[in-house]
Amino acid sequence: MSFWQPLTFPANEEELLERLSRPGPQTVELFSRLEGGLLVLGAGGKMGPALCLMAQRSLQKAARRDFPVVAVSRFSNPGVQQLLQRHGVQTLQADLAQRRSWAQLPRLPYVIWMLGHKFSASDPPGTYWVRNVCLVRELEQLAPCRVVAFSSGNVYPFLAPEEPAATEQTPVAPRGEYAITVWGREQVLRHLAATAGMGVCLLRLNYAVELRYGVLVDLAQMIRQGQPVPLSVPELNLVWQGYANRVALACLEQVQPGRAWVLNLTGPERLQVRQLALELGRRLGCPVNFSSQQGARSLVADASQCHRLFGPPELGAWELVDWTARWFQIGGPVWNKPTKFWVTTGEF
């Protein structure tokens, strides 16, 4: 299944959002078939706005006016809510950690779950458990038919370079509270599939990237600022965020009622941090220093099932390295949202 059209380098943020939210023909066809409406929970973060816009652009191309896309988030950044509204996405500002918020949500057959709690500096005890595990149970009130839930490749074991990357069949070995509670959320969703009949897709994502955040932005920032690049986690996977969102939307139709289906979602390349940094340094014209001994194990996943089903990502890792360096050279804006890809303890 061909998923993509050639994408050209974006000259500014507006063009970047256009590239990130451009639907392929299959996404447009998908939205000409779906009935009922889509609720996107946690839509205000790094990935949600472009996902909602991709869905909305598909509906426009399919000349559909009868299918609402409803983006729910706290919208800590009000500009995000305004952007979505300008493009015809319905928005609902709500703190889903408050039980009463759930009563305001519309009951729609399709749900994409994007909520997640990863970074914890001064949280009260148990925050990971409440946010990542308990909250998802509230979905039962909405009784959706199909749920696509973002999960994480962090549930897999750290692997040595000679070991094969984790497939969906690899036994999980979550390290640290974030990974353990993401695994816990998967388990609650499996329970909902089995007991409430929902079709559930669990997307184990490894590092979505675009030009304002992600592992390549982290590396480029370190290199530009002359900071040593950590090699504690020597390998990683990454994937163009536009592809990750396209796959999430496509999965809405793939899930079967009453079943939970795990899918790895990342790019095809198993990448060495050292090589990525050297290549970025070369393109940025900056020397690269490394801070630590190379670590022995990494989180790497095999997403060949995803690529077989939906085609490969439209942009490969080295093209993204090139785009990231060019983005920095034109002074494109970046967000201060480090991935902390170098953490080995599972404590973020």
Ligand X SMILES: NC(=O)c1ccc[n+]([C@@H]2O[C@H](COP(=O)([O-])OP(=O)(O)OC[C@H]3O[C@@H](n4cnc5c(N)ncnc54)[C@H](OP(=O)(O)O)[C@@H]3O)[C@@H](O)[C@H]2O)c1
Q: Is 17 in the site for ligand X (CB under 6 A)?
A: no
In eight-state DSSP terms, residue 301 is B
Report the distance separating Cα 2 and Cα 313, nearest Å: 10
Nearest in space to 205 (alpha carbons), one of 236, 181, 229: 236
Nearer to ligand X, 118 or 191 (CB): 118
Report the distance separating Cα 331 and Cα 217, nearest Å: 12
Give the CA angle between residues 328, 331, 332 to the nearest 5°: 80
Nearest distance in Å: CB 206, ligand X: 6
Q: List binders of ligand X among 65-84 (CB under 6 A).
A: 73-76
Say how far residue 54 (Cα) sits from the centre of its chain: 14
Q: Residues 148-187: x/- map of binding to ligand X (CB under 6 A)?
A: --x-x-----------------------------------
Report the distance separating Cα 82 and Cα 84, nearest Å: 5
Measured from each CB, the residue nearest to ligand X is 45
Copy the structure tokens of residue 49.
């706005």
Nearest distance in Å: CB 116, ligand X: 2
Nearer to ligand X, 62 or 70 (CB): 70
Q: Residues 197-236: x/- map of binding to ligand X (CB under 6 A)?
A: --------x-xx----------------------------
Report the distance separating Cα 38 and Cα 148, nearest Å: 11
Nearest distance in Å: CB 152, ligand X: 4
Report the distance separating Cα 102 and Cα 55, nearest Å: 23
Nearest distance in Å: CB 220, ligand X: 16
Nearer to ligand X, 62 or 317 (CB): 317
Give the residues lining the site for ligand X (CB under 6 A). Answer: 42, 44-48, 73-76, 94-97, 114-116, 118, 150, 152, 205, 207-208
